[in-house]
Structure 1
Amino acid sequence: MSAPTVGYVGADVPVELITAAGLLPVRLAGKPGEDSTLGDRYLGRGVDPVARSILTRILTGAYGPLEAIVVSRDCEASLRLFYALRELHRVEPELRLPPVRLVDVLHLPHHTTTRYVHAKIAQLREWLGRWRPIGDDDLAAAITAHDTLRRSLTRVAALRRANRLSGTRFLELVAATTRLPVTAATALADSVVADPSEADGIRLFLTGSSHDDPAVYQALERNGFLVVGEDHDWGELLFARTCAAPTELALAERYQHNGPSAPRASIRARAAHTAAAARACDAEVLFAYARVHDDAPPWDFPEQRAATGLRSVLAERQPYGELTEDALAALLPAGAPA
């Protein structure tokens, strides 16, 4: 019998706690091109289309039965989504929405921040205890299992850097692991490590908005690029850091120091991280993709370009899950067909 599913939004949600409670954590993704009228109605069209798509899919039951929803405060759109879900739960009980919880993880490098994040994680642990109390042994086992998955995904990322896996396949794999029980996700990642493929192209590092759908990666790789790295939280940023120990405090520190993401980190931190990651991938091109209503990436771009020293292109106001012809033309080498 499968475990009840808890949908979660954002990489700041400590999935280890959901696993430790005997529940299945499933990261909720939007769907580009799908009608989002319901989400638009409650959030407005000025919000990131990913949040509007996720809300629509929750309201239409596209994710199947959800026991609960946990939303991280990883960006303004996620926070707006949480407020909408909480209010709908209150004023429209006929919708039968599951209970929703916000988890607020801060990323400042201070001991006071650690105490704050630890307190928030302890509160989420207590809230999830309504399904099954989370003992220290349960939590330690869940942390160990998720760290094992992160190490397996790190080996997959090394294959991509060695031209043994396409960026599209990598992104699809990472997304698949967020929908499976942790042991099954690890087995899936290990199967890719055991049977790599071949990939080639102009080595491109992708920064900017996150990608919960492979369409942009596919467009880039159809046009001669190989996405060898990225700094968004559906890619390597999701699993780059493990826990120092299988404890609640170490879990808090892991999420506090994870990142840096575009909505929550400083421009300087983002530039330093992007430059180091692009060097590790031997990237030839830096491409900053900024989705419509995602305002953070363009602020980062000038320092990222300077820090990497790579040929760099910024594509602003891109449709959700799409790459416009103008953006592709700016990215392609002079004289190359679009």
Structure 2
Amino acid sequence: MPDSAGSDRPVIGVVGGDVPVEIIEAAGGHAFRLSGADRPAGAEAVRLLGAAVDSVAHSILDSILTGEAGFLRGLVVSRDSQAALRLFYVLRMLAQQGRAVPDVHLVDLLHLPRASTRDYNAGQLAEMADTVAGWTGTGLTPQNLYTARKLRAELAAALRTVRARRAAGAVTGATALRVYTLAQTRTPAGCLASMDAGLGATRSRPDPDSASEGPAEGRCRVFLTGSTVDQVSVYDRLEAAGLFVAGEDHNWGDPVADLWDTPAEVTDLPTAYAEIAGHRLHAGPMAQTSGLAERARYSADRVRRCGASVVLSVGRDHDPAPGWDRPGLIRELGSHARVVRLPVAAHIWSADELGTAVELLIREDCEATAP
């Protein structure tokens, strides 16, 4: 649930990393991205979605069924995975049955680099804006959307500074993931205030020499790829074991810093929607929405930028994307970094799974680059 650092605005839930939250904010809402809970989902959520679904979707549905997400005025679901799509249909079915679930809207953004794709996505954003405005009672205007986009651009710049400081070894991976989580659950102003208070000179220029004195000193630098990790406790425990999580390519981590760009001031909403749609097409390929070759090049570049010597490819049950991505990433990296595979059952890692991860990451003699 949003804390006191949020706002008095209607809270609009977000599922997935493909929802332009600046539209929600321009419509007077507080965008709050839902994550998995730190406990197994209940039997009803598993039954409704089916067992062969990513555990994060089970967990989100469980929080809705138990009333923990009762603060939501509505829920926008991005069609960036089959699990999210199934969640949308189940919630719509439950609403038709009279169950106490939030109003739900599906936003379907495509990711082909074509003008027709941008135009289709702009139409999707216009429909989303109309729906959210109906929930909040606040219609969008070009000026409101420009203001919301400008504030998100300021937040994105601050997040890129955090990313640079982390690559320099001055910010831990767990701290960075906490900041990215704030950026997706608090208002931009609230997140910026928390960053200033908690990180000091977060938005100052990173000092490349700080790595020698920062939390990365003497630690194995690790890059996470594969299934999304939305639990900061995973990073806390990996780093408590002596590792340094230097970067990741999943959509709760470093890629969040590239989601918003500095807007041009426009006089009509369709042009603004087209600009947002165009930026989203080039904001960094996600596993669920991009081609394998493009994804491999992007991830390998991020590995090199953060100085990681080993990559942990996390594959959660019922999430096939990591298995498709891993061979291409291995080819792109060559001898630059080892790639080790870690199967996990759910978004909550067991003690045994964490122990296996640490063992794999500190071993240098294992057959780590086998697809």
| TM-score class, shorter | over 0.9
Is 1:332 matched with 2:359? no
Structure 2 unmatched runs, 5+: 1-6, 203-212, 265-271, 367-371
Worse-matched range after superposition: 60-69 or 100-109: 60-69
Matched with 2:258 is: 240
Asked whether the equivalents of residues 13 and 32 of structure 2 are also in contact (C-alpha less than 8 Å), the reply is: yes
SS in 1 for 2:72: coil
| Aligned with 2:309 (options 284, 287, 299) | 284
SS in 1 for 2:281: helix
Asked whether the equivalents of residues 105 and 256 of structure 1 are also in contact (C-alpha less than 8 Å), the reply is: no
Q: What is the aligned residue count?
A: 334
| Aligned with 1:198 (options 211, 214, 228) | 214
CA distance in 2, matches of 1:326, 1:316: 10
Query: Which aligned pairs between 1:113-152 and structure 2 lie closer than 5 A?
Result: 113-130=117-134, 131-152=137-158
CA distance in 2, matches of 1:335, 1:264: 34
CA distance in 2, matches of 1:291, 1:195: 36
- 2:116 alignment partner AA: T
SS in 1 for 2:258: coil
**What CA deviation, in whole Å up to 9, does each residue of 1:31-50 have, x standing for no partner?**
13234323112101110000
How large is the RMSD of aligned CA atoms in angstroms?
A: 1.9
CA distance in 2, matches of 1:328, 1:116: 44
CA distance in 2, matches of 1:218, 1:183: 26
Matched with 2:184 is: 178
Structure 1 runs, 4 residues or longer, greater than 3 Å off: 190-193, 195-198, 325-328
Asked whether the equivalents of residues 155 and 193 of structure 1 are also in contact (C-alpha less than 8 Å), the reply is: no
Matched with 2:4 is: none
Query: Which aligned pairs between 1:1-338 and structure 2 lie closer than 5 A?
Result: 2-91=8-97, 93=98, 95-130=99-134, 131-194=137-200, 198-200=214-216, 201-243=219-261, 245-246=263-264, 247-309=272-334, 310-322=337-349, 324=353, 325-334=355-364
- 1:149 alignment partner AA: L
Question: How has the CA–CA distance of structure 1 residues 78 and 35 changed in structure 2, closer, same or farther, with 3 Å as cutoff?
Answer: closer
SS in 1 for 2:307: coil
Asked whether the equivalents of residues 36 and 347 of structure 2 are also in contact (C-alpha less than 8 Å), the reply is: no
Asked whether the equivalents of residues 54 and 346 of structure 2 are also in contact (C-alpha less than 8 Å), the reply is: no
CA distance in 2, matches of 1:12, 1:27: 11
The offset of 1:299, in angstroms, is 1.1
Question: How has the CA–CA distance of structure 1 residues 243 and 235 changed in structure 2, closer, same or farther, with 3 Å as cutoff?
Answer: same
CA distance in 1, matches of 2:100, 2:36: 21
CA distance in 2, matches of 1:242, 1:179: 16
Asked whether the equivalents of residues 10 and 71 of structure 1 are also in contact (C-alpha less than 8 Å), the reply is: yes
The offset of 1:244, in angstroms, is 5.3
TM-score with structure 2 length normalisation? 0.85
Asked whether the equivalents of residues 117 and 256 of structure 1 are also in contact (C-alpha less than 8 Å), the reply is: no
The offset of 1:327, in angstroms, is 3.9
- 1:54 alignment partner AA: I
Question: How has the CA–CA distance of structure 1 residues 286 and 334 changed in structure 2, closer, same or farther, with 3 Å as cutoff?
Answer: closer
Asked whether the equivalents of residues 153 and 262 of structure 2 are also in contact (C-alpha less than 8 Å), the reply is: no
- 1:236 alignment partner AA: D
Asked whether the equivalents of residues 243 and 250 of structure 1 are also in contact (C-alpha less than 8 Å), the reply is: no
Asked whether the equivalents of residues 215 and 321 of structure 1 are also in contact (C-alpha less than 8 Å), the reply is: no
The offset of 1:311, in angstroms, is 1.2
The offset of 1:193, in angstroms, is 4.3
CA distance in 2, matches of 1:317, 1:193: 32
Asked whether the equivalents of residues 167 and 217 of structure 1 are also in contact (C-alpha less than 8 Å), the reply is: yes
CA distance in 2, matches of 1:256, 1:121: 13
The offset of 1:59, in angstroms, is 1.4
